[in-house]
Amino acid sequence: MQPSDYLVPLPEIDSALQKKIYDSLAIGAKVRLTDKLLPSVVCIDLVNTQKRVCCMNLSEDCTVMALGLSDSHVKVFFFEKQNDDLTVEDLYKFDAEKM
Protein backbone atom coordinates (compact mmCIF):
# COMPACT_ATOMS: atom_id res chain seq x y z
CA MET A 1 0.00 0.00 0.00
CA GLN A 2 1.38 3.38 -1.02
CA PRO A 3 1.23 6.35 1.42
CA SER A 4 -0.86 8.23 -1.13
CA ASP A 5 -3.54 5.54 -0.80
CA TYR A 6 -4.34 6.33 2.84
CA LEU A 7 -3.01 9.86 3.44
CA VAL A 8 -5.23 12.83 2.76
CA PRO A 9 -3.37 15.86 1.41
CA LEU A 10 -3.72 19.15 3.25
CA PRO A 11 -5.67 21.83 1.42
CA GLU A 12 -3.85 24.74 -0.18
CA ILE A 13 -3.87 27.89 1.95
CA ASP A 14 -4.12 31.06 -0.11
CA SER A 15 -2.45 34.32 0.89
CA ALA A 16 -5.71 35.93 2.12
CA LEU A 17 -6.30 33.07 4.56
CA GLN A 18 -2.66 33.17 5.68
CA LYS A 19 -3.00 36.90 6.40
CA LYS A 20 -6.22 36.33 8.36
CA ILE A 21 -4.54 33.61 10.47
CA TYR A 22 -1.50 35.81 11.08
CA ASP A 23 -3.66 38.81 12.04
CA SER A 24 -5.71 36.74 14.49
CA LEU A 25 -2.51 35.48 16.15
CA ALA A 26 -0.90 38.93 16.19
CA ILE A 27 -3.83 40.55 17.99
CA GLY A 28 -3.14 38.35 21.02
CA ALA A 29 0.28 39.93 21.37
CA LYS A 30 -1.23 43.44 21.33
CA VAL A 31 -3.69 42.93 24.20
CA ARG A 32 -2.35 44.18 27.53
CA LEU A 33 -3.70 42.34 30.56
CA THR A 34 -4.11 44.12 33.89
CA ASP A 35 -5.91 43.33 37.11
CA LYS A 36 -8.99 45.09 35.68
CA LEU A 37 -8.72 43.53 32.20
CA LEU A 38 -8.51 39.75 32.40
CA PRO A 39 -9.20 37.28 29.58
CA SER A 40 -12.55 35.53 29.55
CA VAL A 41 -12.44 31.76 29.78
CA VAL A 42 -15.31 29.31 29.64
CA CYS A 43 -14.73 25.66 30.51
CA ILE A 44 -17.66 23.32 29.99
CA ASP A 45 -17.49 19.62 30.71
CA LEU A 46 -20.25 17.45 29.29
CA VAL A 47 -20.69 14.36 31.45
CA ASN A 48 -23.11 11.46 31.15
CA THR A 49 -23.81 12.14 27.50
CA GLN A 50 -23.10 8.54 26.45
CA LYS A 51 -21.28 9.82 23.33
CA ARG A 52 -24.54 11.24 21.94
CA VAL A 53 -23.39 14.84 21.41
CA CYS A 54 -22.77 15.52 17.72
CA CYS A 55 -22.38 19.29 17.80
CA MET A 56 -22.31 22.20 20.21
CA ASN A 57 -22.63 25.96 19.83
CA LEU A 58 -22.16 28.76 22.36
CA SER A 59 -23.62 32.23 22.13
CA GLU A 60 -21.10 35.05 21.82
CA ASP A 61 -21.47 36.03 25.48
CA CYS A 62 -21.45 32.34 26.58
CA THR A 63 -24.83 32.54 28.30
CA VAL A 64 -26.59 30.05 25.97
CA MET A 65 -25.33 26.64 24.83
CA ALA A 66 -27.10 24.40 22.33
CA LEU A 67 -26.25 20.73 21.94
CA GLY A 68 -27.20 18.59 18.95
CA LEU A 69 -27.65 14.93 19.92
CA SER A 70 -27.35 11.83 17.77
CA ASP A 71 -31.03 10.98 18.29
CA SER A 72 -32.05 14.28 16.56
CA HIS A 73 -32.84 16.06 19.83
CA VAL A 74 -31.56 19.53 20.62
CA LYS A 75 -30.87 20.60 24.20
CA VAL A 76 -30.51 24.26 25.08
CA PHE A 77 -28.88 25.42 28.32
CA PHE A 78 -28.97 28.94 29.76
CA PHE A 79 -26.14 30.12 32.01
CA GLU A 80 -26.00 33.07 34.37
CA LYS A 81 -23.06 35.43 34.44
CA GLN A 82 -21.38 35.55 37.82
CA ASN A 83 -18.44 37.42 39.30
CA ASP A 84 -18.14 39.77 36.34
CA ASP A 85 -15.91 42.23 38.20
CA LEU A 86 -13.18 40.03 39.70
CA THR A 87 -9.63 41.33 39.98
CA VAL A 88 -6.37 39.40 40.11
CA GLU A 89 -6.23 39.92 43.88
CA ASP A 90 -9.72 38.39 44.24
CA LEU A 91 -8.57 35.32 42.34
CA TYR A 92 -5.49 34.94 44.55
CA LYS A 93 -7.70 35.21 47.65
CA PHE A 94 -10.09 32.63 46.23
CA ASP A 95 -7.21 30.20 45.53
CA ALA A 96 -5.84 30.71 49.05
CA GLU A 97 -9.27 30.00 50.59
CA LYS A 98 -9.59 26.71 48.71
CA MET A 99 -6.21 25.43 49.98
H-run or E-run covering 96: helix 88-98
Over residues 28-83, the pLDDT tens digits come to 667 677 777 777 777 778 888 888 999 999 888 778 899 999 999 999 988 876 65
Please give the sequence-ordered ranges of beta strands (E in DSSP) within the chain, or none if there are none.
Answer: 53-58, 64-69, 74-78
- CA 52 to chain CA centroid, nearest Å: 20
Instruction: Say if pTM beats, i.e. exceeds, 0.75.
Output: no
Element (H or E) spanning 97, and its range? Answer: helix 88-98
What are the boundaries of each domain within the chain?
3-98
